[in-house]
Amino acid sequence: MVVLSGCSKDKEEEATVTLDNKVLINEIFKAGMTWNPNASSAKSSVPINIEVDNTVAGPIGGTIHVLGSVTGTMNYDDESGVVQSGTLLLGLTETINDYAFKCNDQTFTMNGAPYLSLTGTFTLGYGGSFGTASSMQFGGGVRVTGPGYDQTINIQITIILNSGGTGGHVSGTVGGEALDYTF
């Protein structure tokens, strides 16, 4: 007697994996704000012309290479060296290579598609605080992969910085989804 049997696997429900656009933008913003790693020790004079070539390591691996320049003018108090006022213009590109980060307890990897452009205008007040006209614009694309996730995401956002330069208000679109929040 011959017994033939077969097994069939029920189709497992596919888990829905989501990527929080706020986490994605926060990672990109942090890299963009590293344009001058020596800012605390810099004693720039008028005019400002800083060539930027900085690589930021991802929290889990990979890098974001920030390249470009920062130009403008600064006005200092001659006695104290404190910034009185100034204007800085940013023109940067972020080339992202296998930059890994966590979102919703999942590991995602981001790569440039092909890169992000970052432009910005910063008005500076006393002590180097950022004025209300200070903003950054990000544009371009990234490819993000993770468990059950593989998307190319177009980004067009504006960030209006807070006076400390540590956050601000974000508006625009990421992957066609509108963003409007403060961080």
**pLDDT per position as a tens digit, 143-176:** 999 999 999 999 999 999 888 778 889 999 999 9
The total of other beta-carbon atoms located within 10 Å of residue 99's CB is 26
Domain ranges of the chain: 21-34+45-182
> What are the C-alpha distances in Å from 87 to residues 76, 145, 179?
12, 38, 27
- pTM, two decimals, is 0.68
DSSP H or E stretch at residue 25: helix 21-32
Tens-place pLDDT, residues 89-120? 999 999 999 999 999 999 999 999 999 999 99
CA-wise closest residue to 32 among 90, 73, 72, 74: 90
- Cα 106 from Cα 118, distance rounded (Å): 27
Reduced to 3 states, what is the DSSP secondary structure of residue 121? strand
